[in-house]
Amino acid sequence: MAEHSVCVFCGSRDGANPAYGAAADAVGAGLAEAGWRLVYGAGDVGLMGRTARAAQAAGGATFGVIPRHLVRWEVGKRDLTTYVVTETMHERKKVMFMNSNAIVVLPGGAGSLDEFFEILTWRQLGLHEMPILLLDVDGYWQPLTGLIDHVIDQGFAEPTLRDFYRAVPDVSALFAALRTALS
């Protein structure tokens, strides 16, 4: 069993920038090399699939969680160490969260944003103290961090909201932050 489990939220597509896929490959391999289990959405497409395949190729443990209605759409990756099928999206997030020690968010779309904001909200409400790290590949998350600044500036959140997540510029910085957070 892996010492730590890191939940990776990311796109079910590759995105427009090849750097996103390269980052997903590096994150998957890096988790395996660190001896940490990948917890993710169990898809075999996009950045999800790349992260999992890289972790597997490097000998890492994988824990995938997918809701029944997405098994065909996201091509449920059944050759994982652990493969869980849930009834709902909310249950998927809960199972992923409950089996993790840290959260990493790679580039992604509406689903990744939903996952980030739910985990961030839970942190804001004091429901967990897990580190939440945004992998800001080529500045991908800059509009999101700008939006959070705007929300704070407009009085809809305390400035401490910024303390509940950290944007890191590259995979090297991501693993340095994870090593610090998980030690």
118-171 tens-digit pLDDT = 999 999 999 999 999 999 999 999 999 999 999 999 999 999 999 999 999 999
pLDDT attached to residue 77: 83
Q: Taking the model in full, what pTM does it have?
A: 0.95
Mean predicted lDDT score pLDDT of the chain: 95
Answer yes or no: is pLDDT of 73 > 80: no
**Range with lowest mean pLDDT among 21-35, 72-86, 166-180:** 72-86
Neighbours of 102 (CB within 10 A): 19
pLDDT attached to residue 71: 79
Neighbours of 151 (CB within 10 A): 12
Q: pLDDT: is 73 or 18 the higher one?
A: 18
pLDDT attached to residue 121: 97
> How many structural domains are present in the chain?
1
pLDDT attached to residue 2: 64
Please state, in angstroms and rounded to a whole number, the distance separating the CA atoms of residues 4 and 157. 31
Give residue 115's domain range.
5-182
State both tokens at 105.
């968010």
pLDDT attached to residue 33: 97
State both tokens at 140.
């991908």
Burial degree of 94 (CB within 10 A; 0-12, 13-18, 19+)? middle
CATH code of the domain covering residue 19: 3.40.50.450
Confidence of residue 3 (pLDDT cuts 50, 70, 90): confident
pLDDT attached to residue 147: 98
